[in-house]
Amino acid sequence: MADREQVAGGNWLERASHRQWLLREADDLFRFFEGASLDPDGRISVPDTKGRPMRDGAPTELHTTTRLVHCFSLASLQGRPGADALVDHGMKALWERHRDAEHGGYVWSFGPDGFADDKKQAYGHAFVLLAASSALQAGHPDAPRLLADITQTLNTRFWEEAHGATAEEFTRDWRPFDTYRGQNSNMHLTEALMAAFEATGERHYLDKAGRIADLIVNRHARATGWHLPEHFDADWQFDRAYDGNPIFRPFGTTPGHWLEWARLLIQLWELEGRVTDWMPDAAKALFAKAVSDGWDETRGGFFYTLGWDGQPRIPDRYWWPVCEGIGAAAVLGAVTHDPFYETWYRRIWDFAALHLIDRRRGGWHPQLGPDNQPKPEPFAGKPDLYHALQACLIPLLPTDTGLAKGLREGQLRGA
């Protein structure tokens, strides 16, 4: 099949049967996670490989709590029974367990005896903003105070006006302890800022999202031929040699983030009124580079990272780049009507269905080796609902609306 020829049978998303399939997959994910997420000690648990609550004693991390609040707010907006109880549970954990009442902000993790890792990280705070915004759209009574608190914290502690992006991390009492600046946390903040804009109508959220995108994509990704840089110093100079945490701050570049930005740029372009001409062109360039350089033509799937020589650095396939590829292909196909994106939409979903979705036990395998067989590390259990759920729902919504707003307004395309 030639990528730029007409795809046989038209677009999958024009078929009611495919849209129903997406909704069933979303339902399966919700069912897998809702039975494992409530914990009587106030934690949000993640499922083990069989869908049971993890009982490994590990602290509850901020991105776990916030993502589940976001996802079950979406479930509530769909009218899913039981979803509100999970949102309540997560919102209470955010306000009473993650929030630092003494110093402000939200700590990275807590355990049975209080704070575990008490650092304040931009990545986690971005997801607090996303959770608050989605909960507000879902009508949660505590969402306004959470949104006001996280907005103030981001504005006064993290945002660096001179650069148009955020600082990365602080100690509990807000002392900076390194000069690192990262695109990953700012990318997720861009998603959250757009959600906050849609929840409130307040333009300052959208303006910040535009400044982050201009810095990271229009300036830095363009300068490196769309091999999106990940790591920077305090002056936002690209640090090509940086080699940090292999999951959150790996050496080299991460094609999944090229795909994620491709989707976010289309959403931002739409929300701004289609006035920023570089955004759709950059989205198309990032997607094209990701599928040409990051996709394994022999076995399928996206390599997790590439070195600066263009060769796979971490050849494992994680679930989330596949999810981001699905979302990016869907939105680019919708705005361009180019069958190239339909071809990739199908190809990426085929890989997910054949290798990542666990039909026997439920959920998605979080990582595969180069042989496409599930691996037990680096992720324990099946820790993430957020990426897989969004891969199912984003294709069912118009490109000019975010998930929570689209669901609240009844724009989901079902059967």
Task: Give the chain's length.
Answer: 415
CB 306 within 8 A of CB 293: yes
Q: Residues 384, 366: contact at Cβ < 8 Å?
A: yes
The Cα 346–Cα 322 span in angstroms is 12
Tokens 């969004």, residue? 390
| pLDDT, tens digit (0-9, with 9 covering 90-100), for 266-305 | 999 999 999 999 999 999 999 999 999 999 999 999 999 9
For the chain, the domains span 12-408
Contact in structure between 98 and 110 (CB atoms under 8 Å): yes
Could you tell me which of 100, 98, 88 has the C-alpha nearest to residue 135? 88
C-alpha 254/C-alpha 49 separation (Å) is 26
The predicted-structure confidence for 103-125, as pLDDT tens digits, reads as follows: 999 999 999 889 999 999 999 99
Write down the pLDDT at residue 51.
86
Q: What is the pLDDT of residue 2?
A: 40
Catalytic-labelled residue, pool 140, 188, 227, 387: 387
**Rounded to two decimals, what is the model's pTM?**
0.97
Average pLDDT score, the chain: 95
Q: Residue 349 is encoded by which pair of tokens?
A: 């979903």
Low-confidence ranges of the chain (pLDDT < 50): 1-4
Question: What is residue 42's predicted lDDT score, i.e. its pLDDT?
Answer: 67
pLDDT at 415: 60
Q: Which fold has domain 12-408?
A: Glycosyltransferase (1.50.10)
Q: How far apart are CA 314 and CA 230, in angstroms?
A: 15
pLDDT for 50 equals: 86
Q: Is 198 within 8 Å of 402 (Cβ atoms)?
A: yes
Element (H, E) at 322: helix 319-336
Query: According to the model, what pLDDT value does residue 1 have?
Result: 37
User: Residue 365 — φ and ψ, nearest 5°?
Assistant: -65, 130
For residue 55, what pLDDT is reported?
A: 72
Please identify which of the residues 63, 98, 188, 257 carries the catalytic annotation.
257
Q: How many CB atoms lie within 10 A of CB 70?
A: 30
Residue 202 confidence (pLDDT)? 98
**365 in active site:** no
Tokens, residue 222: 């363009």
387 part of the active site: yes
